[in-house]
Structure 1
Amino acid sequence: MKSRLIVVASVCSLLLGLLQSCKLDVTPRDRYTDVTVWANENNAKLYLLDQYSVLGDFAFGTMPLGYANNTDALTDLIKNTSISSGNGTANMVAFNPASITAANPTFSYWGTGYTRIFAINNFLNGTDQYQTFSDSTTRNVYHAEARFLRAYVYFWLVKLHGSVILLEKPVTDNNNPRSSEDECWNFIARDLAFAAQYLPETRATADLGRATKGAAYAMLARTWLYAASVAEYDKKQYNSDPLTGVPTAKAPQYYRNAAAAAQAVVDLEAKGVYQLLPQFTSVFSTKNNKELIWGFNYIRPSLTNTFDRDYAPPADVPAYGAKGVPTAELSDAFEMADGRSFSWTNPAMAASPYRGREPRFYGTILYHGGSWKGRTLNIATGTDAYIDYGSVADPKRTVTGYYLRKYVDSTNVDPIRNAGEQQSIELRYAEVLLIHAEALAKTGQYAKAKEMLDKVRKRAGLPGVTAASEADLMAAVEHERIVELAFEGHRYWDLRRWRKAHIVLNNQRVHGHRPILQADGSVRYEVVDSDKQDRFFAANTYYIPLPAAEIVNNPALSQIQGW
């Protein structure tokens, strides 16, 4: 709304003008002011709701490179098909992490993150200063929601940089130092604990997507798990900055904190708030289901995504599709339906590699001979056929012999005309169970850790794990996080927090399975190199540098050592 500001004032006499200046204290009507926003409860609520756009920054694993699924494309789960900048940036970083510099951090969320923190702090400060809410109960609920969102932003900043600037109030000066990584994790945890205390367990239909008690506890469990992992695995091996890292002695307590927060979410299952859906595929095709804890809702036509256009097989979307595709490493990780490990050395399995696999395989990956939108996928010949990586700059076809299934809408027959509206999931109950299992394993509660793992596996129709030691349970946790959470943006960050990215990714390549039709009508699968060069993870990138421009602009801010 625009209005003309009309100010009528008396003319100051010449004498008074010589003795003192005239001052007009007028509330402008052509812009929003503090009074306009914070003195009106409804305006303040609308301001807070606007902060949920933060989820769009991370939908479908967009961070850290600005394209959906780029997070998993930095790992062994997804291969981006392009060799060009933009669609192929993840490949460039995976091959050459030296492209990450202080002048161009590549993974930077600093500017956007602090813009969002400033806005949230404005809400917290303004609503207190102007006593926006009529009672303390209402105030606490809305402040809990704001602090949840602030914690979420800080979680991402700390994942990237470790040591960042902590701000609880709006600041106008640019003279703020970094806090230690341990202080940062505890700051996030305090915000989330406050949120868990005051947020409601459920939301009305009109408010679905807003933070809840379960979302706060789930984020708290994830936060403490990350802090504990850094405390256990980092040990100042990869960065000498005095503010990065978490004291090793704190790992046991932080794992216990993670287990306690996860248990609080499990307790909500007993109250009927959450559950694992009976069918794995329903989690991604049914909006606002009981497994979802927090996600980003898209609704046609006002708010849509391009996921179907970018990741469906190319026959679905001529001139688009297949920006990223699953790897052979991921495909092989899925077990047989009876719980046996899949192996190409098993003649029966190799003869029919996509028959008799566990249900999560079919809900995650499209493969040669599979059924898709009323047709049988032909990845040997035709529009959907395999193409060698690097033979075309931006092929928009599979370079591994596979296409994405998870998140792609099988009912969307025209992804160009009908932009996507599937829900991007940030937190779901299965992840919480896996967090719980890991934290319990780390605190010696092996039987209960196994129970949490087995709940996830039971939904997939698989037998329970046989693990009975911390090492075996951790191997089982990593496996389940790969196959259960594929394409949900966890693998890269798991490898980082476990400080094993340089082990898993260095001097490695991802592969594919190219289907080749035989004269007798059968299909032979050829293992193909889908990278054509070795990957490399530089250990110094466990801590991404702060943007160099911020160091120049903030005299109190120092660069992370090593950058």
Structure 2
Amino acid sequence: MALQGCSVDLIPQDRIAEEKVWADPNSAELYVSGIYAEFKKFQFGQFPNLGYDNAMDALADGMKFTSNTAGNGTVNILVSNSNQFSSASVGLNYWASGYERIRRINEMINGINTKSSLSDAQKQVYEAEGRFVRAYAYFWLAKIHGSVILFKSMDQYTEKDHERSSEETVYDFILEDLQFAADHLPLNNLAGRATQGAAYTLMARVGLYAGSIAKYDLKQFNQDPLTGISQARSAEYFKKSADAAQKVIDMANGGLYALDDNFASIFTNKNTKEAIFRVDFAAPDVTHQYDLGYAPPRDAQGNTLVYGVPTAELVNEFEMADGSKFSWQNAAQAAAPYTNREPRFYATILYNGATWKGRTLNTSTTDAIEGFTTFGASGDPKRTVTGYYVRKMLDPTNTTFVQNKSTQSWIEMRYAEVLLIMAEAKAQLGDFATATTYINQLRQKRGLNALRLANNNQAMAAVEHERKVELAFEGHRFWDLRRWRKAHLLLDNVKFTGHKISPNATGLTYEVVSADATNRSFSTKLYYLPIPENEVQLNGALTQIKGW
């Protein structure tokens, strides 16, 4: 009572008042730039709670993680037993992390529109950036769970309990956010910040996913009333995808983007016009450890970590230089399997006999440091268990990555993906001539022959092949197989393989060997992963995904 007449509404001295953040253009700019940290959670194919680069590719058929112990080998534990996924241990858990970012973005949008003195034009750009990142976060949640909670404004946070929205509603909201972003973002922005091209590219990607789920899911795999998308809307989503891709293609035709002439250099050239949205790094403060995680052991005197290596299934997918299929049944090809392959092979895979950093790689059984070892022979072998190493995205000039780490950019979106999205969306709409045009535009830039795609089966087979090869190790394959509802056909009850290369009297033998200790396991339940159980317990209105 003695304080009567005094102001007790004091500003805490250990933090900046929200009004001051938005009143100061410099602090507002810092806040907005900070929301892009969300993309670093997924850089180089990471997944937040798995923690290692390319972990998502190791969930599919193109990469094999070398370790069989928890931590480095968590991915192998997950792919070997579908029962590892449960509401108590989701396996792929982005829920809390994603919703934390969504809340911060909603606070930002509210703050700039109600508490700032910024110009109306600047407010719109900042809101567009916020909604771009919010769409990205919601897209990950949708890919994992389908049906999730939508928080559209700060008003909703006054209530404790919130229901899930339908998967269809979630995808519509993501596309709505991205349309706003595309309408208000600039063509060019600061490095690592959203642009019109990035918004349209993400819109094209999201539309493709929604259309695929509408076409292929058909409520076959989950009876939750909120999961699935009406099949009647598949063409609508594919058209949204194609229309957004066309916007980016128009920008490329105007000189903003282009396919790179040198495939290998795309991932180490910060000036490549193929990059639409990327995460940049700069030594010594902002770095990553991709090279340490994937380079062959002798790159660091035997001390690289070799988290994952390419599978034979991926290696075999690369074509010959003339565009014909590679086959181990072809005697001439089997005798020299790494000769006359397409350019992307040499830019993606390090193989026995490859020249790398001034030496010739020996991945045969005769090399105790970089040569083949059987998966499971040791907990963390830190060498190849398939006869191959990753080449793509490694920096061939970086010889000090143990001490100084790495700085090549992570390209989250690039122009080649846009062409593949356009080809797929048009094929799904029955426009095979246009699908053929964009598949061939990519293939010809990569030094390959043109294809003729006369029907949906041919077009989708070409799209799947090109996405598997072109986008290898970029984090797409596992999610592609899920949206096409093919994961239970290709990732279940199977062992992926490598090549055990051994010398004999006349040369080398290439023995196909299993890179998996047990058959892989992918249950159809995994198309919709459970919400973490503790989140359901905390939220009285939140129901678990049916089946979990």
For the aligned pair, the TM-score class normalised by the smaller chain equals: over 0.9
Question: Which residue, out of 423, 446, 458, partners 1:437?
Answer: 423
Question: In the alignment, does 2:307 pair up with 1:315?
Answer: no
Question: Which residue, out of 481, 486, 490, partners 2:472?
Answer: 486
How far the C-alpha of 1:215 sits from its partner, in A, is 0.2
Aligned twin of 1:398: 384
- Deviations along 1:229-286, one digit per CA (max 9) or x if unpaired, are 1101111111111111101100011111111000010000111000001111121120
The letter of the residue matching 1:513 is H
Question: In the alignment, does 2:61 pair up with 1:76?
Answer: yes
In 2: Cα distance, 1:379 partner to 1:28 partner: 61
- Deviations along 1:64-95, one digit per CA (max 9) or x if unpaired, are 62211110101110000100011111111111
The letter of the residue matching 2:394 is V
Contact 1:308 / 1:321 at 8 angstroms: preserved in 2? no
The letter of the residue matching 1:283 is I
Question: In the alignment, does 2:349 pair up with 1:365?
Answer: yes
The letter of the residue matching 2:512 is V
Contact 1:222 / 1:258 at 8 angstroms: preserved in 2? yes
Aligned twin of 1:4: none
Question: In the alignment, does 2:226 pair up with 1:256?
Answer: no
Aligned twin of 1:543: 528
How far the C-alpha of 1:320 sits from its partner, in A, is 2.6
Task: Give the secondary-structure state (helix, strand or coil) at the position aligned to 1:333.
Answer: coil
Question: In the alignment, does 2:231 pair up with 1:245?
Answer: no
In 2: Cα distance, 1:553 partner to 1:394 partner: 39
Q: Alignment length, in residue pairs?
A: 542
Question: Which residue, out of 182, 185, 198, partners 1:199?
Answer: 185
How far the C-alpha of 1:23 sits from its partner, in A, is 4.7
Contact 2:433 / 2:453 at 8 angstroms: preserved in 1? no
In 1: Cα distance, 2:12 partner to 2:114 partner: 20
Aligned twin of 1:473: 459
Question: In the alignment, does 2:479 pair up with 1:496?
Answer: no
- Deviations along 1:466-485, one digit per CA (max 9) or x if unpaired, are 22101110000000000000
How far the C-alpha of 1:295 sits from its partner, in A, is 1.3
Contact 1:202 / 1:273 at 8 angstroms: preserved in 2? no
Aligned twin of 1:340: 324
Q: For residues 40-119 of structure 1, what are the structure 2 equivalents within 5 Å?
A: 40-63=24-47, 65-119=50-104
CA RMSD of aligned residues (A): 1.3
Contact 1:546 / 1:560 at 8 angstroms: preserved in 2? yes
How far the C-alpha of 1:172 sits from its partner, in A, is 4.4
Contact 1:279 / 1:459 at 8 angstroms: preserved in 2? no
In 2: Cα distance, 1:486 partner to 1:89 partner: 21
Question: In the alignment, does 2:167 pair up with 1:184?
Answer: no
Question: In the alignment, does 2:436 pair up with 1:450?
Answer: yes
Question: In the alignment, does 2:152 pair up with 1:164?
Answer: no
Aligned twin of 1:280: 263
Task: Give the secondary-structure state (helix, strand or coil) at the position aligned to 1:513.
Answer: strand
Answer with 495-504 or 285-294: which moved more.
Answer: 285-294
Aligned twin of 1:555: 540
In 1: Cα distance, 2:342 partner to 2:483 partner: 28
In 2: Cα distance, 1:190 partner to 1:42 partner: 29
In 2: Cα distance, 1:194 partner to 1:437 partner: 25
How far the C-alpha of 1:316 sits from its partner, in A, is 1.4
How far the C-alpha of 1:493 sits from its partner, in A, is 0.1
Question: In the alignment, does 2:527 pair up with 1:529?
Answer: no
Aligned twin of 1:459: 445
How far the C-alpha of 1:21 sits from its partner, in A, is 8.1
- Deviations along 1:520-552, one digit per CA (max 9) or x if unpaired, are 4x2121111111321110111111100111111
TM-score, length-scaled by structure 2: 0.97
**Alignment identity in percent?**
49
Task: Give the secondary-structure state (helix, strand or coil) at the position aligned to 1:128.
Answer: helix
- Deviations along 1:160-218, one digit per CA (max 9) or x if unpaired, are 01011111123244211111000000100011001111111123xxx211100000000
Question: In the alignment, does 2:287 pair up with 1:301?
Answer: no
Question: Which residue, out of 144, 153, 171, partners 2:128?
Answer: 144
Question: In the alignment, does 2:104 pair up with 1:130?
Answer: no
Aligned twin of 1:513: 499
In 2: Cα distance, 1:144 partner to 1:284 partner: 28
How far the C-alpha of 1:22 sits from its partner, in A, is 5.6
In 2: Cα distance, 1:29 partner to 1:128 partner: 25
The letter of the residue matching 1:337 is A
Aligned twin of 1:214: 197
Task: Give the secondary-structure state (helix, strand or coil) at the position aligned to 2:502.
Answer: strand
In 2: Cα distance, 1:494 partner to 1:293 partner: 20
The letter of the residue matching 1:443 is L
In 2: Cα distance, 1:320 partner to 1:99 partner: 29
Task: Give the secondary-structure state (helix, strand or coil) at the position aligned to 2:299.
Answer: coil
How far the C-alpha of 1:414 sits from its partner, in A, is 2.5
In 2: Cα distance, 1:344 partner to 1:165 partner: 49
How far the C-alpha of 1:444 sits from its partner, in A, is 1.1
Contact 1:329 / 1:510 at 8 angstroms: preserved in 2? yes
TM-score, length-scaled by structure 1: 0.94
In 1: Cα distance, 2:379 partner to 2:226 partner: 42
How far the C-alpha of 1:30 sits from its partner, in A, is 3.1
Task: Give the secondary-structure state (helix, strand or coil) at the position aligned to 1:58.
Answer: helix
Task: Give the secondary-structure state (helix, strand or coil) at the position aligned to 2:153.
Answer: coil
Answer with 405-414 or 370-379: which moved more.
Answer: 405-414
Structure 1: gaps (5+ residues): 1-11
In 1: Cα distance, 2:489 partner to 2:380 partner: 30
Structure 2: gaps (5+ residues): none
In 2: Cα distance, 1:481 partner to 1:95 partner: 25
- Deviations along 1:414-459, one digit per CA (max 9) or x if unpaired, are 2211201111111000001000000000111111110010011011
Contact 1:124 / 1:143 at 8 angstroms: preserved in 2? yes
Task: Give the secondary-structure state (helix, strand or coil) at the position aligned to 1:48.
Answer: helix
How far the C-alpha of 1:28 sits from its partner, in A, is 3.4
Contact 1:192 / 1:217 at 8 angstroms: preserved in 2? yes
In 1: Cα distance, 2:11 partner to 2:468 partner: 56
The structure number with the bigger radius of gyration is 1
Task: Give the secondary-structure state (helix, strand or coil) at the position aligned to 2:144.
Answer: helix
Contact 1:179 / 1:243 at 8 angstroms: preserved in 2? yes
Contact 2:19 / 2:116 at 8 angstroms: preserved in 1? no
Question: In the alignment, does 2:251 pair up with 1:265?
Answer: no
The letter of the residue matching 2:356 is W
In 1: Cα distance, 2:27 partner to 2:168 partner: 36
How far the C-alpha of 1:131 sits from its partner, in A, is 3.5
How far the C-alpha of 1:225 sits from its partner, in A, is 0.5
In 1: Cα distance, 2:522 partner to 2:376 partner: 21
